[in-house]
């Protein structure tokens, strides 16, 4: 599994952008300047294996909800538990929130990962992506409302 999960460091930006390009087609990936901008206000957790960044998760806090903006794992390290490890390592930092949510492409096999982590389908987002593709919203309740 991951040897280190840590917060983002400014010197990580080139590798994070490289992961964007490896993981997503041009339609879905962030531009480097948008990624840099997001890193100024959002939380990012970096997964390191053998001294190499192999993935990251980007989370934005919106009131009492953590919004998982992006989960990226280097294609050479997928299906080895790195995505799950990243999500599990980041989640305790958000335990005071009511829930975590994310959007995922309707055809993305990562839905199973999210389901196994306790996320459930809570909505449908027609034409959510720039190319008109649909997404589903998945949510994990962290703290019951009182």
Q: Which domains does the chain have, with CATH numbers?
A: 4-141 (3.40.630.30)
94: helix, coil or strand? Answer: helix
- 40, 55, 99, 114, 137 from 92: Cα distances, Å: 21, 18, 12, 16, 21
Average of pLDDT values for 48-71? 92
- Cβ neighbours, 10 Å, residue 114: 24
> What would the pLDDT profile of 78-94 be if each residue is shown by its tens digit?
999 999 999 998 888 89
Looking at the chain, the whole-number percentage of residues with pLDDT higher than 90 is 55
Q: What length is written for the chain?
A: 146
């Amino acid at each position: 599994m991951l040897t280190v999960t840590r917060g983002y460091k400014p010197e990580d930006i080139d590798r994070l952008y490289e992961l964007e390009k490896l993981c997503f087609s041009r339609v879905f990936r962030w531009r480097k300047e948008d990624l840099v901008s997001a890193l100024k206000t959002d939380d990012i957790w970096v997964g390191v294996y053998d001294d190499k960044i192999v993935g990251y998760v980007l989370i934005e806090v919106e009131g009492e909800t953590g919004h998982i903006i992006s989960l990226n794992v280097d294609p050479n390290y997928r299906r080895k538990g790195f995505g799950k490890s990243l999500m599990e390592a980041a989640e305790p930092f958000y335990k005071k929130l009511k829930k975590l949510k994310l959007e995922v492409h309707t055809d993305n096999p990562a839905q199973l990962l999210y389901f196994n982590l306790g996320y459930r389908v809570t909505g449908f987002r027609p034409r959510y992506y720039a190319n008109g593709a649909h997404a589903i919203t998945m949510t994990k309740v962290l703290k019951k409302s009182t």
